[in-house]
Structure 1
Amino acid sequence: MTVEWRLFADLAERAGQRRVSVRVEPTATVGDALAALFEACPALRERGLDDDSSAVRDSVTVLCDGDPAATDDPVDDADELALLPPASGG
């Protein structure tokens, strides 16, 4: 099945695009879709993962259909995933 990632701010710049479609197995999780995203856009890996593990950085937010998502959450064919960098401002 295919899921679509939306990327924002510097993550979109690193990937060179704001939307990335990836193929995953029908039983895929958010973590599987994230791995497929990093395979499709290797420049995102260092920004999205902790240096010493394959865990998503605390500063990066993963959403599934607008709601916070954990890497072990299942994904469906129609889901839209989003990867957001940390918010900043003042």
Structure 2
Amino acid sequence: MGFRWMLCRHSYNKLVVGELTYDTHEPVLKDVFEQHGELIEVKVICDHKSGKSKGYGFVHFVSEESATKTLAEMHGQLPDGRNIQVNYANKK
């Protein structure tokens, strides 16, 4: 149970952020989300050819509490001119 439990619990620290503008890049996303807690990683998924954002990314927090609080506070907000969608990345 130990390792599997840690893997499941770990996924509650990672959020997927959708509906980003195509100009959103990692420093912008980091600036917005680091105000809500300590981050492990911020990743914007980009097109390989153009380098532009595909409109979504991931924000990985150190603590589950920060991720949960951020999800509640940021879902539907307009950090870059669009209503973003924030959800847990792998919560089942």
Shorter-chain TM band? 0.3 to 0.5
Tell me the TM-score normalized by structure 2. 0.34
Which structure's CA Rg is the greater one? 2
